[in-house]
Structure 1
Amino acid sequence: MNEPLPARQVRAVYDAETITVYQAYDPHIAEPALAAQTFVSPFKRERMTWIKPSFLWMMYRSGWATKPGQTRVLAIAVSRNGFAWALDNSCGSTPAADETHEAWKARLAASPVRVQWDPERDLQLNRLDYRAIQIGLSGEAVHRYVDEWITAITDITPLAHQIAAHLNKGDTATARDLLPTERPYP
């Protein structure tokens, strides 16, 4: 019998050195990033940038790479040390159970990283009972991400379109087989 998944657990593609996160952009941001293998202008470091380890959550957000401004989906290999720094320097998007709203607002203002947990998605992009982590980087965290943590950027838009095409034909088994293998992150 399968154990139910924890309500909040980071699940991702990772190896000994890196963890894969996803972002979706317009081609005018994605193309220079792919060429430079990091984010460069017109990417704006001044804005919060959200990274997502869940492939299906990214597909939900980008509509299988079809929504305006999100037609290119990038898989970004990030150093595990950088990912750990982000989590260690994060603040939740809502107050902790034992925290006053004022204390949380002060902690949020001082933190360069925001974490929120949104419903994970299944292959048809329906909500699941457990959550996927979303990590918002701002200030110092964006600079570290762009300058230090990124080790590779890959365009996975063709994979998103391929899986969506199989789903549109009703070929769920093939679509499922093409999904990146995500496992609980330690």
Structure 2
Amino acid sequence: MKIKLKKYKEQLQDWPQKGHHIMAQYDDEKIIVYQSYKRKIGEFTVKNQYFGGEFSLERMTWIKPNFLWMMYRNGWGTKEGQEYVLALHLKMSAFKRYLENAVYSSYDHNLEISREEWQDQIKESSVRLQWDPDHDPFGNKLERRAIQIGLRNEFTRSFAKEDIILIEDISDFVQEQHHFVLNNSLENLIIPEEKPLVFNDENLNKKLRLNQN
């Protein structure tokens, strides 16, 4: 795997405990995001290094940069149809483009626009943005919020082929680490090394409600 790994307990000391944070592994060129699929889609994708075959370009596809949120969502790769866990090395420029075009998937007054304006944006945009409770390795909710991004139409097509640098199958790694969780042995748990992502673009940070401390 071409992912940097670090003990969970060591990382926990440095992570923010609450607020809106994009927890991820990234550098200037790329960011790691995660998805889970059934075996046929996963095998095709890893072999060909793009999304095709039984992958639907017509449906919205959700990406998650936070490893433990993905593990909560797919039950550490045990949920039906989510056994094949992929780590996608995504161009940072593409990830930023998604967020610049994203519209919140549900309305609230913090958006500083009317419900009608939000509804118009929803109709026009092909990117959805959602903040959900983050989770610990056991699936317990945390105060910190985790981001997920939904893509459709031209963004799904771009994501499927042009925006990805590398696709890795990390299913075996996920299974190995799941054993430590099942045995309540978090001192041995190793996960991708992650830190909060903040952009140089203050308008984007404000739109995403990112906490910067």
- What residue number does 1:86 align with? 98
- What residue number does 1:120 align with? 134
Aligned counterpart for 1:11 among listed residues 10, 16, 23:
23
- What residue number does 1:51 align with? 63
Q: 1:140 to 1:182 in 2, by over 3 A?
A: same
**For 1:34 and 1:41, how far apart are their aligned partners in 2?**
12
- What residue number does 1:155 align with? 169
Aligned counterpart for 1:33 among listed residues 36, 45, 63:
45
Residues 91-133 of structure 1 show CA distances to partners (whole Å, capped at 9, x for unaligned) of 0112252222221111011111000001001121110001100
**1:102 maps to 2:116:** yes
Give the Å deviation of 1:147: 2.3
**1:144 maps to 2:164:** no
**For 1:147 and 1:179, how far apart are their aligned partners in 2?**
27
Moved more, 114-123 or 158-167: 158-167
**For 1:155 and 1:184, how far apart are their aligned partners in 2?**
24
Q: Which runs of 4+ in 1 moved over 3 A?
A: 1-6
Give the Å deviation of 1:4: 4.8
Provide the TM-score with structure 2 as the length reference: 0.82
**For 1:142 and 1:29, how far apart are their aligned partners in 2?**
15
**For 1:85 and 1:100, how far apart are their aligned partners in 2?**
24
Equivalent residue of 2:192, what SS?
Answer: coil
Equivalent residue of 1:40, what SS?
Answer: coil
Q: 1:151 to 1:4 in 2, by over 3 A?
A: closer
* Identical amino acids, percent of aligned pairs: 39
Q: 1:159 to 1:129 in 2, by over 3 A?
A: same
Verify the 8 A CA contact 2:72 2:137 in the aligned structure 1. no
**For 1:38 and 1:164, how far apart are their aligned partners in 2?**
27
**For 1:132 and 1:170, how far apart are their aligned partners in 2?**
23
Give me the CA root mean square deviation.
Answer: 1.6
**For 2:135 and 2:18, how far apart are their aligned partners in 1?**
15
**For 1:33 and 1:44, how far apart are their aligned partners in 2?**
12
**For 1:2 and 1:17, how far apart are their aligned partners in 2?**
23
Give the Å deviation of 1:16: 2.4
Give the Å deviation of 1:180: 0.7
- What residue number does 1:131 align with? 145
- What residue number does 2:7 align with? none
Unaligned stretches of 5+ residues in structure 1: none
**For 1:104 and 1:156, how far apart are their aligned partners in 2?**
38
